[in-house]
Structure 1
Amino acid sequence: MNKLESRPVPKRAKSFQHTRRFLPAVTLLEKLLQQPIMMTEQQYQHLIDGLWQGDTLMDALVDWLFEDNTRQRKQLFEQALHEGTVSIKDCPDILQQFFAHVETQPEWLDQAQLQQAVAFMHSVGLNANYVLRDLALMGGYLLAGFNQALVMTGALNKGASQRLAETSKWWMDCTAPHGLERFSAGFKSTIHVRLIHALVRRNLHRKPEWNAEHWGLPICQIDMAATNLAFCSLFLLGLRGLGIVPTRQESQAVMHFWKYLGWLMGVDPRWLVDCERDGHILLYQSLFTQAAPDWTSQALGSALAQEPLQKEFKRWQTLQRHYSYHKHLSISRLFLSAQKMQQLGLPKYVLPWFPAFLIPQNLIGYRIQRRLPVLKSWQQRRGRQAQLNYMATFGSRGDKVIQPEKNHPAYIAG
């Protein structure tokens, strides 16, 4: 069999011929960027292969969990995660091998860049939450191929507020100072989420309801890589849309931070990029593996839009809930067209009124504060506190990162 035909094309993906439809516009963009964007047939097949590829290391560990005495083996994994494999007498080889891998930092890792990225993400304050929630997450629901696994985990029944709280808690853990050190919350949360992904992948793939011919593998490499890119290259692009222009060094630091986080999460190195431009190109190319918006886009988008109405505020709760609801809609409208708003089950006649106030504030205030050393430090502390205050509005829902309930495909009886 020809190497380019090694994997079938799931119905969710566009054909290779479809990727050539925008050739004139892409050719012009390639000249401007001085970087190839249009995929070759081989690059296209690599993307298709990625739709069938999981996380080799964690998938093997999950298979081991289910070979015998799953509950006890899951407890050993948790002990290794929180206390290290040295705490386990006669630790199983597969646990030792997995944790030896994730505990051995890649040669390319630069701690200084990690610290710079954290400082920058603190300094932007709630702008980070706006971009990640109202552009990356909301816009991501337009990708029906990505939605299928989410819906089958019971996301619609669980509630958007809980899902957003769990994702926000993970992001806060990871972006805490030294949050990715071995026994810090961000490192442990990431490995925990990686396990959840593998459990979901294993269980959904075995369900008769999962149509592999149409969707490929649940939580595949391409979906994981695209999600990782949403936290870095799309994040940086969205910040620019809100009036915050990162320096080249800040951009590189953020991309480096998420490259390492993607590596910890089990993203194949071939889908990890070093610079923002490469991230945009890969994200653009990955869109050809995604199905058009469908009912899941409307269901998930509408649920996320309603999420602020469940927030917990200390005072003027009803007023603040409705203000937050309309504020987030207006931010989404800045980034998304009226048609895309409608495809997400959102009102399309929305004006970006909140960004109209926010952008000038960022263009002037943020830039001035960043240039003055004393104010820059204050800006970082103030921005992080705003992020912490935002987490408080989730109440107890924001205390933990994804704790599967009994009907969740990642549930293992404790």
Structure 2
Amino acid sequence: MDQRIKTFWEKGNGNQLIIWSGAIINTDNPDYYQTMKAEYDVLGDRAAKEFFADKNFQQAYSYLQQLSQTAITKDDVLPESIKELMLQMQEVPLWLDKSLIAAGSDLSMRSGTNALICLRDYSLMGGYDYAYLNKALVYTGALKKGAAKRITDTLDFWTQVTRSNALEINHDGYQYAFRTRMIHSFSRIMIKEKHPAWDKETWGEPINFADMVATSIGFSLIFLHGLHQLGLTISEKEELGVFHLWKYIGYLLGIPLAYLPNNKKEATEIFYRWTASQAAADEDSVMLAKALENESLVSNIFQKAYQKNFLNYLHTSFVWFLVDKETCERLQISKIRMPYFFPRFRKMRNVLYQKVVSGSDKNYQRSVYLGNLIQVKISKEYLKAGNG
């Protein structure tokens, strides 16, 4: 294990995750990552080749958008790989617990802007510390497209798949999962065909199952830990609901069920084994982190310089509050004055607010309703600003 990542587990956020989750960390199964990094969504790739055969990207994307809105049967006339993929995604697994899905969706929504802070300033920023995970972003041109686009795309995807009933067959979240699965496959095929410099021995297959599980853990374990750090009280059902929600999303994206965690203990143990084979931040990591840090300055969400600068300061404050000091230093996050003032104020406000509204189902549902409104509004503002 890279010494810097070892420090993460001994003194940084990793140590917090172990204490919080009750995980039992060991180095058993040393081939865990070696096996998973060589595995990827073969079925998705076969279908993507059919979608993008003899079509330009826009034509192919329009076709898969149309199909994502359609329930098909085994008798439909479609290329076999596309039919197999869609029938697999339409098959609702027996393990699916809709009450847990609802609980996970409710927490995602009621956490409001806290959720967006955790996703941007903890999950996304913290993920840049893992050099190998970032390579697919670099080879698909994420640096050139800019952080604003990645924020917009990620926020749009997250708000769609975490809404109430969003993952019902052909509903909006399901459609987003379907299209994202095909974009993953298209990107993987493109990298393998056009970039002979891809270091398969070190990094594994592009967008492999190990890295997809790590990304899912960013949306579940790291997300929940961020909310915990910001003072949100989360029920056991809500917590399990978030993991169940992302387990189903992972299933729709083609990840084998056995690789997906059910709770924070399992997720922390999986995350540890994954990080054991990662290298800590390199030059690409620092460039991606710097682009994300400065996203507020180049985004079109606000027009006035003082608004952009203040939002930039706020996000940098939350990065320093949520991400451990050593990781921030590796990623070369800018040092600012009074970095913990606004995060601590938000945490105090969250704690007080929950004391006022606790114990009432009506207040809980109102929090879900209002959180959904603000999250969707912010997502639409990013799309409207032309960042997508």
User: Which residue does 1:52 correspond to in 2?
Assistant: 38
Amino acid at match of 1:269: L
User: Which residue does 1:167 correspond to in 2?
Assistant: 154
User: Against the structure 1 CA distance between its residues 89 and 398, is the aligned structure 2 distance closer, same or farther, given a 3 Å change threshold?
Assistant: farther
Classify the secondary structure of the residue corresponding to 1:371: coil
User: For the Cα contact (< 8 Å) 1:144–1:292, is it kept in 2?
Assistant: yes
User: Which residue does 2:371 correspond to in 1?
Assistant: 383
User: For the Cα contact (< 8 Å) 2:32–2:273, is it kept in 1?
Assistant: no
User: Against the structure 1 CA distance between its residues 33 and 144, is the aligned structure 2 distance closer, same or farther, given a 3 Å change threshold?
Assistant: closer
User: Which residue does 2:133 correspond to in 1?
Assistant: 146
User: Which residue does 2:144 correspond to in 1?
Assistant: 157
Amino acid at match of 1:377: Q
The equivalences for 1:270-281 within 5 A come to 270-281=258-269
Separation of aligned partners in 1, 2:235 and 2:124 = 25
Bigger relative CO (Cα 8 Å, ≥ 6 apart): 2
Q: Summarize deviations over 1:346-365 as a string: whole Å, max 9, x none.
A: 21355222111101111121
Where does structure 1 lack aligned partners over 5 or more consecutive residues? 1-12, 401-414
2:352 corresponds to 1:364: yes
User: Which residue does 1:411 correspond to in 2?
Assistant: none
Pick from 294, 309, 314: which aligns with 2:282? 294
User: For the Cα contact (< 8 Å) 1:169–1:398, is it kept in 2?
Assistant: no
Separation of aligned partners in 1, 2:18 and 2:387 = 45
Q: How many angstroms does 1:78 deviate by? A: 4.1
Count of residue correspondences: 378
The equivalences for 1:331-346 within 5 A come to 331-346=318-333
User: For the Cα contact (< 8 Å) 1:145–1:215, is it kept in 2?
Assistant: yes
User: Which residue does 1:5 correspond to in 2?
Assistant: none
Q: Summarize deviations over 1:114-153 as a string: whole Å, max 9, x none.
A: 1121111111110000101000000000111011110111
Amino acid at match of 1:62: A
The equivalences for 1:313-332 within 5 A come to 313=301, 317-332=304-319
TM-score by length of 1: 0.83
User: Which residue does 2:68 correspond to in 1?
Assistant: 81
Amino acid at match of 1:329: T
Separation of aligned partners in 1, 2:359 and 2:386 = 34
Separation of aligned partners in 1, 2:309 and 2:101 = 37
Q: How many angstroms does 1:195 deviate by? A: 0.8
Q: How many angstroms does 1:210 deviate by? A: 1.1
2:84 corresponds to 1:97: yes
User: For the Cα contact (< 8 Å) 1:54–1:217, is it kept in 2?
Assistant: yes
2:101 corresponds to 1:114: yes
User: For the Cα contact (< 8 Å) 1:299–1:345, is it kept in 2?
Assistant: no
User: Which residue does 2:257 correspond to in 1?
Assistant: 269
2:375 corresponds to 1:396: no
User: For the Cα contact (< 8 Å) 1:80–1:95, is it kept in 2?
Assistant: no
Separation of aligned partners in 1, 2:232 and 2:223 = 11
The equivalences for 1:205-224 within 5 A come to 205-206=192-193, 207-224=195-212
User: Against the structure 1 CA distance between its residues 302 and 75, is the aligned structure 2 distance closer, same or farther, given a 3 Å change threshold?
Assistant: closer
Q: Summarize deviations over 1:242-293 as a string: whole Å, max 9, x none.
A: 0012111111111111110111111121211111211111112211121121
Amino acid at match of 2:360: L
Q: How many angstroms does 1:390 deviate by? A: 2.0
User: Against the structure 1 CA distance between its residues 69 and 243, is the aligned structure 2 distance closer, same or farther, given a 3 Å change threshold?
Assistant: closer
Question: Which stretch shifts more, 132-141 or 302-311?
Answer: 302-311
Pick from 217, 227, 231: which aligns with 2:219? 231
Separation of aligned partners in 2, 1:139 and 1:380 = 27
2:108 corresponds to 1:129: no
Question: Which stretch shifts more, 224-233 or 113-122?
Answer: 113-122
User: Against the structure 1 CA distance between its residues 143 and 31, is the aligned structure 2 distance closer, same or farther, given a 3 Å change threshold?
Assistant: closer
Separation of aligned partners in 1, 2:380 and 2:101 = 26
Q: How many angstroms does 1:64 deviate by? A: 4.2
User: For the Cα contact (< 8 Å) 1:76–1:88, is it kept in 2?
Assistant: no
Aligned residues with identical type, % of pairs: 27
User: Against the structure 1 CA distance between its residues 75 and 388, is the aligned structure 2 distance closer, same or farther, given a 3 Å change threshold?
Assistant: closer
Q: How many angstroms does 1:176 deviate by? A: 1.9
Amino acid at match of 2:109: H
Q: How many angstroms does 1:185 deviate by? A: 1.3
Separation of aligned partners in 2, 1:310 and 1:150 = 20
Separation of aligned partners in 1, 2:161 and 2:227 = 19
User: Against the structure 1 CA distance between its residues 285 and 396, is the aligned structure 2 distance closer, same or farther, given a 3 Å change threshold?
Assistant: same
Separation of aligned partners in 1, 2:145 and 2:233 = 36
Separation of aligned partners in 2, 1:267 and 1:322 = 40
Q: Which of the pair has more CA radius of gyration?
A: 1
Calculate the aligned-residue CA RMSD, in Å. Answer: 3.0
User: Against the structure 1 CA distance between its residues 398 and 274, is the aligned structure 2 distance closer, same or farther, given a 3 Å change threshold?
Assistant: farther
TM-score by length of 2: 0.88
